[in-house]
């Protein structure tokens, strides 16, 4: 699972070491007088492993550079500030203001995160601290599976269930007429997608708190709940924060499920019961279709670059927090 990577880096490392050791053992059997063979194998493996290790960052760099080059025509003709703060979106006139899309993205993401964080964090803590083995044995694989469901399925579920709920329930309750395809709908669907991720990471992070600390709290006469709240959660706080950031960046970049329920109207959604148009939806809906319009291609590339930069920044930040926690735990 992608979201496990943060905590399992060290094991990946051991796998390499084991593989290397096995190769050396084979080389050894060729003959003890062939020491150079082992040295050669050692060097060869070092190069191969290094090559694979460097592939990933290079790939990322290639994507970023590709996007930047394609976005250049737009960036070089329109000031960056205008692109980010204008809401005039008239591709035919060559006006590309991204504000409506940015606001749409942020709104959908915030709704999702605000809903998913309390539930995700509490479930993760519950799973680690207060559930028995049977519950864990059930819940952990279920969370894994939820994370593996293709997002288009969440989208369909949103269209079938959440859209009518918003149209016939939530919107009328607030006295608003709505098609049901709104920013709120997008946020609700997204929150359900992000919730398992947050739960999973919080669970893993809280588990790394050493048992000695729990004992210390209890031995001082604190109840289980006091120990959880005042000792364990406190210790795990940076990691819990990182889990929320990961949830945020996952929500931020999610495309299909949101696109299916959010309405896709170019406007600043002043309230969540209006339709919106988040950046990923913009790119997915229009790429390849409106290429006859000058600069449109470049504008979409700019949007993609923006998305990539924000998601990367959040991910890197969350990884750093988790890493630091892991170091301190050992």
Partner 1 sequence: MHTPRTTLSVRGLHVNYGDHAVLKDVNVDFPDRRLTAIIGPSGCGKTTLLRTLNRLIDNTEGTRITGEVLLDGQDIYARGADVTGLRRKMGLLSQRPTPLPMSIFDNVAFGMRIHGERPKQQIAERVEYFLRHASLWEEVKERLHQPAGGLSIGQQQRLCLARGLAVGPEVILGDEPTSALDPISTRHIEDKFTELKERYAIIIVTHVLRQARRLADHVVFMYLGEVVEQGPAEQLFNDPQHELTRAYISGSIS
Residues that bind partner 1 (CB under 8 A): 132-133, 210, 212-224, 226, 230-231, 234-235
Closer by beta carbon to partner 1, 42 or else 226: 226
Q: Least Å distance between CB 219 and partner 1?
A: 4
Closer by beta carbon to partner 1, 235 or else 250: 235
Closer by beta carbon to partner 1, 110 or else 218: 218
- Long-range Cβ pairs for the range 138-141 (8 Å, 24+): 140/203
CB of 32 closer than 8 Å to CB of 24: no
Q: Least Å distance between CB 84 and partner 1?
A: 40
Q: How far apart are CA 128 and CA 142, in angstroms?
A: 15
Q: Least Å distance between CB 192 and partner 1?
A: 31
Closer by beta carbon to partner 1, 163 or else 325: 325
- DSSP letters of 203-216? HHHHHTS-HHHHHH
CB of 190 closer than 8 Å to CB of 252: no
Q: Least Å distance between CB 326 and partner 1?
A: 15
Closer by beta carbon to partner 1, 22 or else 137: 137
Q: Least Å distance between CB 239 and partner 1?
A: 12
Supply 236's token pair.
Answer: 């795990």
- DSSP letters of 285-330? HHTTTSTTSTTHHHHHHHHHHHHHHHHHHHHHHHHHHHHHHHHHH-
């Amino acid at each position: 699972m992608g979201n496990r990577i943060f905590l399992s880096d060290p094991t990946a490392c051991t796998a390499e070491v084991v593989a290397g050791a096995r190769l050396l053992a084979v080389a050894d059997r060729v003959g003890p007088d062939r020491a150079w063979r082992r040295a050669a194998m050692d060097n060869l493996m070092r190069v191969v492993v290094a090559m694979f290790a460097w592939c990933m960052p290079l790939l990322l760099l290639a994507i970023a550079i590709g996007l930047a080059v394609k976005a250049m025509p737009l960036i070089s003709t329109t000031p960056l500030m205008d692109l980010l703060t204008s809401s005039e979106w008239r591709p035919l006139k060559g006006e590309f203001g991204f504000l409506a899309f940015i606001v749409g993205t942020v709104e959908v993401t915030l709704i999702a995160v605000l809903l998913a964080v309390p539930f995700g964090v509490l479930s993760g803590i519950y799973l680690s601290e207060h559930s028995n083995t049977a519950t864990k044995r059930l819940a952990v694989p279920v969370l894994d599976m939820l994370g593996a469901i293709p997002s288009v399925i969440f989208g369909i579920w949103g269209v079938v269930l959440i859209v009518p709920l918003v149209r016939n329930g939530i919107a009328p309750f607030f006295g608003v007429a709505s098609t049901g395809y709104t920013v709120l709908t997008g946020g609700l669907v997204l929150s359900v997608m992000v919730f398992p991720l947050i739960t999973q990471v919080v669970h893993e992070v809280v588990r790394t708190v050493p048992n000695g600390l729990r004992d210390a709290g209890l031995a001082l006469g604190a109840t289980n709940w006091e120990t959880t709240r005042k000792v364990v959660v406190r210790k795990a706080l940076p990691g819990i924060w990182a889990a929320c950031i990961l949830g945020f960046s996952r929500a931020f970049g999610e495309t299909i499920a949101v696109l299916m329920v959010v309405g896709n109207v170019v406007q600043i959604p002043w309230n969540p019961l209006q339709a919106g148009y988040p950046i990923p939806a913009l790119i997915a809906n229009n790429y390849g279709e409106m290429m006859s319009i000058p600069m449109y291609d470049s504008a979409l590339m700019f949007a993609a670059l923006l998305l990539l930069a924000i998601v990367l920044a959040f991910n890197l930040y969350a990884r750093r927090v988790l890493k630091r926690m892991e170091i301190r735990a050992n």
